[in-house]
Amino acid sequence: MRFTGTSVLAALALAGCATAPSEVASAPAPVAAPAPMGGKAPAPDPMRWTYGSGEAAAASIQAWRLIADYTISVSRQRRLPQSVPLGLPDTPGGLGTPSCQREDGTQKPFAAVFDVDETVILNRGYEYWLSLGNDFTPEAFMKWANEGAAYAVPVPGAVTGIRRLREAGIAVLFNTNRPSATAAGTIAAIEKAGVGPAVHGETLYLSGDDALGGNKDGRRKIISDSYCVIALGGDNLGDFAELLNDRTLSVQQRRELAARGDIAQLWGNGWFLIPNAAYGFWQKGTIDDVFPPDARWTPDTLVRTAPDIMNEGK
């Protein structure tokens, strides 16, 4: 998941503002940037891991195998089907478990819902362009989303995992924050990567397809009105519930929310995270934010006599 629709629209508006001639005349002369090293420069470590490492490929294959195994097993249970908890709008606590029955008492079809970018397809071409020293801009990503399908490759494990789901009779739906204006290009990329088909408004939902814009909760509500969602997959916590991307949360509060209590019980049990170290909502935090006081060891630190034990159930 690369960006929210609302942030793209705002950035595009700012980019369209003209600069006054007086501002141009008084602006200092630009300083020449150092010549890029091109393909011989060291790639950023997050990109090395996500797009170049065997470890990332193994982790993704492992995740997709677990997704297919779990979801197919749930679909074959004899008990009354139940949706996995979803981030939904106007729901107490930000999570809801929609009914898997229609108002007439019939059962909704099973579905697994996935993010697109770095969940089912890899944006290697766009990330290559960024690795050369270029900055993210909404215009450049829109061009990539609309015209970059030829470079689309699947996340390792996604093709087999999605094929298994469909063969088991489980609908595969995509919920992405790519803008709705990129529907044709997004469909082309999904199909090029071998994880299609996708139909906008039926099995593909994009930012702008509901009133909440870049917030996926609204699209999850639309999907759950027609389907019994038994699995969610994504590379960012917002692919599961918007409450996990609450901007008022500190770095450690967000981590605690995902790693403790009821939400912790969902990982591997209906919610499946695909590894992505290249980018995401997690990209914030000072050293003090990331390392709280009880983590700040130095060679002169006094020995702690009793290590803390993390209990995910509390």
Q: Say whether pLDDT at 298 is over 50.
A: yes
The verdict on residue 5 lying in a domain is no
Mean pLDDT of the chain: 87
Which amino acid is present at 217? D
Give the ranges where 54-207 is alpha helix by DSSP (H). 54-75, 124-131, 138-147, 158-167, 183-192
Structure tokens at 145: 């989303």
Question: Which pLDDT tens digit goes with each residue over 224-273?
Answer: 999 999 999 999 999 999 999 999 999 999 999 999 999 999 999 999 99
pLDDT (tens digit per residue) in 195-236: 999 999 999 999 999 877 778 999 999 999 999 999 999 999
Would you state the pLDDT for residue 217?
A: 96
Q: What is the mean pLDDT of residues 130-159?
A: 96
Does the pLDDT value for residue 300 go beyond 90? no
pLDDT at residue 33 in the model: 44
Helix (H), strand (E) counts: the chain: 12, 9
Element (H, E) at 206: strand 204-207
pLDDT score, position 252:
97
Scanning the structure block, which residue is given the tokens 């994504």?
234
Is it the case that residue 313 has pLDDT exceeding 60? no
Q: Give the Cα-Cα-Cα angle 285, 261, 231 (nearest 5 degrees).
A: 90
Give phi and psi for 22, each to the nearest 5: -65, -35
Q: Is residue 76 part of a domain?
A: yes
pLDDT of residue 26: 32
Domain annotation covers residue 210: yes
pLDDT digits (tens, 9 = 90+) for 25-73: 333 333 444 445 577 889 999 999 999 999 999 999 999 999 999 999 9
Which residue, 154, 145, 150, is CA-closest to 180? 145
In a domain, 83, yes or no: yes
The amino acid present at 6, given as its one-letter code, is T
H or E stretch at 118: none
CA distance 239 to 229: 13
End-to-end CA distance of the chain: 30
Q: 306 pLDDT band (50/70/90 cuts)? A: low
Domain annotation covers residue 106: yes
Secondary element (H or E) of residue 226 = helix 217-226
Tell me the C-alpha distance between 220 and 197, whole Å: 20
pLDDT of residue 3: 52
Please report whether residue 136 resides in a domain.
yes
In a domain? residue 32: no
Q: Show the domain range for 87.
A: 45-281
How many domains does the structure of the chain reveal? 1
**CATH number, position 140:** 3.40.50.1000
Q: Sign (positive/negative) of CA torsion 68, 279, 91, 208?
A: negative
Helices (H), the chain: 5-15, 21-26, 45-47, 54-75, 124-131, 138-147, 158-167, 183-192, 217-226, 251-259, 261-264, 287-290
Q: Would you say residue 286 lies in a domain?
A: no
Q: Which residues are CB-neighbours of 227 under 8 A, at least 6 positions away?
A: 108, 109, 110, 111, 171, 173
**pLDDT tens by residue, 97-114:** 999 999 999 999 999 999
Give the sign of the dihedral formed by CA 126, CA 127, CA 131, CA 137: positive
